[in-house]
Chains A and B, each alone.
Chain A
Amino acid sequence: MVPTHAEIAARLSALTAPQRQRLKRAAIAAVVAETLWVLQAALLAWGLAGLATGQPLPLTLMGLGVAGLGLARAGLALFGAAQSEAAADAVIGAARLDCLTRADRRAPEASAPSSAATAALIVDKLAMLRPYLLRWHPAQARVAAVPLLILLISFAVSWAAGLILAISGPLIPIFMALIGLAARDASARQMDEIAGLNAMLIDRLAALIDIRLLDARDTMLADFERRADHLRRRTLEVLRIAFLSSAVLELFAALGVAMMAVFVGFSLLGQLGFGTWGDAITIGEGIFLLLMAPAFFQPLRDIAAAWHDRVAAQSVARDLLADQAAADPQIIGQGRPDAARVGPIAVRGMVLRGRDMPDLDIAPGEAVALTGVSGGGKSSLLLALAGLIPSGGAVRIGGAVLDDKTADAWRAGLALIPQKIHFLDATLRENLAPEASDKEIAAAIQLARASAVVARLPDGLQTRLGEEGAGVSGGEARRLTIARAALRQPAVILADEPTADLDEQTAAEVIEGLLGLHRRGATLIAATHDPRLIAALPRRIEVGP
């Protein structure tokens, strides 16, 4: 679904709505600062005119006036920026919280957006709201008020001068609107390209060893070069439109200034007898009009310079809408600590990824092997039992449906030994159990037959392992995840191929460890192909066709 422009605008204004007061103050400061320039210009014009006509002047006083007004403008700019900045900070903070809360509860499935793309949205793209609020918003306020004011003042001095501005001014928004439309599409395409490139890179970076082994490094580099070049061309496309729009604008502004200079010059020479309300233009009025002309176009130039910020903000809003609209399956529950709650497990009529799952009844303290062909859904069934993928209310724990209210309590008594090993970017100790005592950790490691593994690590428990357990062998990583499970003192253990990567003897030891936990009262549910593990468990359930 592609959101309409109106929806995007609505999302954007909903984002900034809570900060409306601050943004309004910033806008007022921006407009007032700009009007002070009119006074500065008037002082300069009278000063120079006085010199030309030889009238006596309080020159020093006028000079100080120019400097003082400059000081006031700088102060207003500071105040406005502080207001916008505070607003931007609050808006970004709120949006990040919102996005993160949505993303980290997405079920770990194929359809979930890549974590790199989500991180880019949360961290980089949302940060683009800052220049939007800091530059575009005040520029928009100025463009609404300042050119009109200058137009009125110029008209009051000379109707012809006002006419010059009135003619060259309104043409600009028309051109800008046309160019802006093109820029929006180009910019959206560029954003997509950036997200695609990031997702591709994060995947390739995680697979660099495999890529080397497949001699695919050159293919990858060529592929990347093509994508990077594509991104460069898209970026330039966006920039070209931006440059073109500002060139059109500057051309009109420059022509406006030139026309004003020529008109005023000829009037002063007495060669033009029209354009005023009576008397001929004086030198002071002429200089003043000349100084007003660039100021008339300046807000338009500012808004053109900030155009890209606005387009970026719109594409952020578009991504936010897409992120909200994605109907990705959610992890059940909040993932917060809770008092453990256990009970018999009952599964009725569960369908996962289009496959029917068997109905199950598992009493507390049972030990069950889930068997079946590879790809038959054993792992999915375990994920559903853990509440990590939705089960449509097919799972009941102690009679209560596994839902958002009950899932955290259920998982508090649960340990999951996943098939794909994942270590958080922290020390081994923090990965095992951040709050456990040395003694508890030692006991769990002993139980998992992993003491020698830890002893071999360069920094022992303080070692930081790779994301997928680099630094230890597959069997060693498996045993560490079993120690991690044991430390949770679980009432239920869900284990996905717990004896994978293990030799006969270690496998036997790990099975013994699992059975040890089971004998202490834990329910054990293991998806496995290992005949020895199947034989060690009293009950067997066939999953899949």
Chain B
Amino acid sequence: MRSLWHILRLIWRDRGAAMRRGLALTVVVSLFGIGLLALSGWFIVAAGVAGLAGLGTVFDVFRPSAGVRFLAIARTAARYGERLLTHDATLKALASLRVRLLAGVSAADFATLSRLRAGGALNRLTADIDALDGLAIRLIFPALAGLIASIATLIGLWYLVAPVVALWAVGVTVLGGGGVLVLAGRAAFIPGSRAEMRQQALRAGVIAHLRGRAQLVVAGRLLESRQALLDQDRAARRDALQQSRAEWRAAAMLQVMAAVALSGTLILAGQHVLDGRIGPAQAALAVLATLAMAELTAALQRGAAELGRMRDAAGRVVAALETPPTIQISASETAPGLQLCGLSVAPLPGRQPVVANLDLTILPGETVALTGPSGRGKTAVLNTVAGLVPAVSGRVRAGGRVGYLTQRPALIAGTVRDTLKLASPDADDGPMRDVLAACALDLPLDTRLGEGGAGLSGGQSRRLALARTLIRHPDILLLDEPTEGLDAPTAAAMMRGIREWLPQAAILIAAHRDHDLIPATRIVVL
């Protein structure tokens, strides 16, 4: 529950003024709704009694009928304003929450990022945030407004009709309706949060199934995996059914509660009339006010049923927001080139170091190849130099901007131009074509890539990723197996192109292929 308050505070802090106005209008809508029916009922019976008594001509018809029209129109206007205001404010607050969440996720450390499954993170950013949109609109506001309107009705009926009638009409609605809502909220709590969990698991499962479908097909396991998803779907639907069953049960119980309140008011107020304590018009006022009050609890019903789902979503979102940003700044030295002093590195923080006490200086214009068998820590050195993983001990001094082509670069969907724009938002077509040429990549800028860069061959993907790195003109360039998947002439042309593009860069290459080594001025074996 604490995370729900946290989210509510965030929304309130973000959009306090709009929220306060929205709340005020919600109260107005509730009060005017009750007032409209109560006044109409009183008016008709009073008019009828006056007519029977032959007092029709002296009865003041204008003020009540003007009141009825005023309440009718004002209520409609207030309702429109309230909905627009609260929805606008909530959507704005949630949009900025979404951005903060992505900022938080993207600031996580390397180890977290490399294990991140896109499907789960997507759930945080979309489904969880969406689940929270009802928090203020469907739960807190109707509850507060309902409470305020109930107190006002209690006072009104107490003085205008009779204390007993007031206590019954408001008491049954607030206590009975509230009780039903609490029970319903509880009944839907567990199935609600389970349904949401299953739906998210299903979404992540479908994404994983589709992304892995080629492998599943070759293994002959596509049907098996699909069947598993369908079982998951059945379970998800069963939980959704259970949640919504709790919801309609609550709706039915609220209807019963409203009928009980109404019949009780009729009997009580009728008795008062027969006893001569109130007039029949006051009894009509009480009966119609009770009828109108049923709307107060009905408005809360959906919010109560969603409570479980909202609480879980809020818990996950708050946890993700609290992830401390851990961006490491790799270096602040000003001497040009790259200097590693007694550097020890591990593949991930907390693991055993794989390289110890590495000393290496690369001057601008130099190219150094780092070789050694697979698993010896070539990639770990580059990750540390790039600032992805902190050094176990020792120091990295980088004089300038670092560019890093990783072993498995991830491309994004869109055109080749979009890909390059991501790295250098202001670049024009000319430099873009030049950098592609430097990478020996003959690809029109408008070529469209699919999800994760699908549609390019392995070698093309690597060269595009390289172009994306080069267009930022790094002073220090780290390349992890840059020629992988390339034929020898293309690889040679690319390596030449890199040097021509960045004549003054200090280049460090992790490699095990001979033709990588051709442009190297020095070779370091791990």
Contact = CB atoms under 8 A, between A and B. Distances in A.
B61 A269 contact: yes
Interface string A199-216: 111111111111111111
B103 A335 contact: no
B408 A89 contact: no
A467 B117 contact: yes
A390 B253 CA distance: 58
19 contacts: A44-B287, A104-B226, A105-B222, A110-B448, A114-B413, A116-B122, A118-B206, A203-B452, A205-B121, A209-B114, A213-B403, A283-B48, A290-B40, A337-B221, A408-B220, A467-B208, A474-B374, A474-B379, A504-B512
Interface string B57-100: 10101001100110011011101100110011001101100110
Band of interface residues on A: 35 or more
B256 A231 contact: no
A51 B280 contact: yes
B270 A51 contact: yes
Interface stretch (B2-10, B156-164, B478-486): B478-486
Contacts of B409: 210
A330 to B, nearest CB: 11
Contacts of B122: 116, 198, 201-202, 205
A112 B450 contact: yes
Interface stretch (A313-321, A398-406, A416-424, A436-444): A416-424
B458 to A, nearest CB: 4
B217 A130 contact: no
Contact of A100 (B226, B269, B283): B226
A74 B375 contact: no
B105 A205 contact: yes
A60 B267 contact: yes
B186 interface: no
Contacts of A201: 102, 122, 125-126
A254 interface: yes
A205 B101 CA distance: 12
The 7 closest A-B pairs by CB, nearest first: A70-B259, A335-B222, A110-B455, A475-B374, A374-B459, A254-B72, A110-B450
A111 B448 CA distance: 9
B365 interface: no
A422 B212 contact: yes
B260 A240 contact: no
Nearest to A500: B484
B512 A497 contact: no
A98 B422 CA distance: 37
B127 A216 contact: no
B177 to A, nearest CB: 13
B521 interface: no
B152 interface: no
Interface in A222-257: 224-225, 228-229, 231-232, 235-236, 239-240, 243-244, 246-247, 250-251, 254-255, 257
B95 A336 contact: no
A220 B480 CA distance: 24
Interface string A480-520: 00000000100000001100111111110000000000000
A73 B50 CA distance: 36
A290 B412 contact: no
Contacts of A204: 412
A217 B106 contact: yes
B88 A236 contact: yes
A4 to B, nearest CB: 28
Nearest to B84: A243
B18 interface: no
Given A52-B284, A424-B216, 9 more contacts: A71-B259, A89-B240, A104-B222, A109-B450, A110-B450, A210-B465, A216-B422, A243-B87, A266-B47
B423 interface: yes
B208 A232 contact: no
A225 B280 contact: no
B372 interface: yes
Interface centre among A112, A418, A470, A474 (most CB of B within 10 A): A474
A108 interface: yes
Nearest to B490: A374
Contact of A70 (B211, B260, B484): B260
A15 interface: no
Nearest to A249: B76
B423 A214 contact: yes
Interface stretch (B241-249, B336-344, B501-509): B241-249
B126 A261 contact: no
A470 B389 CA distance: 14
B113 interface: yes
B487 interface: yes
B421 to A, nearest CB: 8
A297 to B, nearest CB: 12
